[in-house]
Amino acid sequence: MEYSGNPNNHSPHVAILAGAGIGHLTPILRLAASLLKRNCLVTLITGHPCVSDAESKLISAFLSAFPQARKEQFHIVPVDPPVEGCDPFWLQWEATRRSLQVLPSLLHSLSPPLSALVTDVTLLTPVLEFTATLKNLPKYILFVSCARMFSLLASYHTFFSTTHHLPDDDYFSKAELLETPFPGVGPFLKSSIPAALQEATNLFVSIFKEDGKRVSSFDGVFINTFDRLEPELVGNGAKLFDGRVMPPLITVRLSPCDFERGAGASKLGWLDDQAPGSVVYVSFGSRIAIKKERIREIGEGLVRCGYPFLWVVKDKIVDKEDTALLEDVIGDELMEKVKSKGLVVKEWVDQGEILGHKAVGGFVNHSGWNSVTEAAWCGMRVLAWPADADQGLNAEAVEKSGLGIWAKDWGCLAGPNSDKMVTGEEIGTKIQEMMGNDLLRLQAQQIRDEARNAFGDGGTCENALKELIEKWKINQ
């Protein structure tokens, strides 16, 4: 089946297929907003039902803010039988991958015909399989992590034998460094590779291998990064030893949008009363479940560090289950100490608003890529404490770029490999190290300036996106 593209002289029509989880949905919606602001026609395709209330609310807020956007929805068939104890977002990704057989007919029903399709990275293999008959439809990936993680995805299967068997149990123990076939890209620290990819029997291993082999079949990869943050950008025609040529990386700024502002109260009033650059902002993302013991040591560290702080607490992966009172999570005694030193909340906050406030001088986070890039845009130095997934590689980027420091000896913040005890005293000392480092502050500000040059009018990243949209128009 041939796909003729948009036959009319209209703006390009782009379909965007969303994945599961706020960490994936947020950049998808930011990309959609960016294209809409550049006069593209956008159809957002989402699966139903969502895992979390936050996802449903964010989609509704986006559609209210951009009534010109179109929405298509398909039903996600649950994984059967259900897998007990599995991360609910991983289950949703797998269920979505299995439910995409409706995609060809859905795409063909859209009018005007599409100029391009953008998919969340977690869905790339089934998207290729189910749209194979749409031969002239340009297809793109939105990659929601760092460029170094992209290079791991694209090369991961090359770490295995030509028989493509899973590794022996001790495969990853044979070397601390794994060489990548990308020219100019340094080797991977074994400790930075996601834990799931080091387990021979993990389902994610086979999925990741297969997805990596398919990357070269796409026309391009949208990624939220820039040269100063990640000099080791890969793609753009890089050729691997197996003959595959990587698609171009299209660097885009996926900045926070007004529609993301939730119902939580603004913290600007409290921040306005603090001295410039004095506040430590602490947030570990939307889906990191931290043990109570760890939360309480973090609280002790914040009390000890000597700086005022704004701390966002979360102890459940899914927001629907996050019903405990703040005092129950932190404990009454620590709560009294914390309230005398800073502000602690257990609700949504406007992270972009906080990071852009003059009172905030440092950001303690889990190295989620959305948080890293928001910190870079605001020129905010970072103390990185990754949990798992791509966050170790993101923390490498934080450290190498000079945006912040990485507490390597603390181990993982949360998850199955988070057994190492990190005391409040250690945490307080490391925060003092970050906040007292003027060189780090200056480097973060330089990164901010270079980000704004790259994404501003006439910048390299902005020009690349404009050229792509013009290409879509020409090829209609």
* 139 band by pLDDT with thresholds 50, 70 and 90: very high
Q: Which amino acid is residue 127, in one-letter code?
A: V
CA 317/CA 366 separation, integer angstroms: 14
CB atoms within 10 A of CB 95: 18
Instruction: Pick the catalytic residue from 13, 24, 357, 366.
Output: 24
- pLDDT exceeds cutoff 90 at 277: yes
Q: Which CATH number fits domain 265-451: 3.40.50.150, 3.40.50.2000, 3.20.20.80, 3.40.50.2300?
A: 3.40.50.2000
Residues 6+ apart with CB under 8 A from 333: none
Per-residue pLDDT tens digits for 390-417: 899 999 999 999 999 999 889 888 776 7
- pLDDT exceeds cutoff 90 at 334: no
Q: How far is CA 200 from CA 165, 172, 205, 214, 411, in A?
A: 10, 10, 7, 21, 22
Strand partners, 223: 143, 251
Task: Identify the residue with better confidence: 289 or 298.
Answer: 298
CATH topology of domain 13-257+454-474: Rossmann fold (3.40.50)
Task: Identify the residue with better confidence: 443 or 92.
Answer: 443
Tokens 């960490």, residue located: 23
Ranges of CATH 3.40.50.2000 domains, the chain: 13-257+454-474, 265-451
Residue 237 is predicted with a pLDDT of 55
Residue 82 is predicted with a pLDDT of 66
Strand partners, 250: 222
Cis check: omega of the bond before 113, within 30 degrees of 0: no
Residue 6 is predicted with a pLDDT of 47
- pLDDT exceeds cutoff 80 at 382: yes
Per-residue pLDDT tens digits for 154-194: 888 777 644 334 444 444 556 677 777 666 677 777 778 88
Q: How many CA atoms lie within 13 Å of 185's alpha carbon, on the beta-carbon side?
A: 27
Instruction: Pick the catalytic residue from 87, 120, 350, 390.
Output: 120
Q: What is the mean pLDDT of the chain?
A: 85
* 5 band by pLDDT with thresholds 50, 70 and 90: very low
Residue 282 is predicted with a pLDDT of 96
CA 440/CA 448 separation, integer angstroms: 12
- pLDDT exceeds cutoff 80 at 7: no
Least confident of 140-149, 223-232, 420-429: 223-232
Task: Identify the residue with better confidence: 301 or 136.
Answer: 301
Average pLDDT over residues 64-79: 92
120 is catalytic: yes
Per-residue pLDDT tens digits for 48-57: 887 778 888 8
Per-residue pLDDT tens digits for 75-124: 988 877 666 666 777 778 788 888 899 999 999 999 999 999 999 999 99
- pLDDT exceeds cutoff 60 at 263: no
Of the candidates 456, 394, 402, the one whose C-alpha atom is nearest the C-alpha of residue 192 is 394
Average pLDDT over residues 371-377: 95
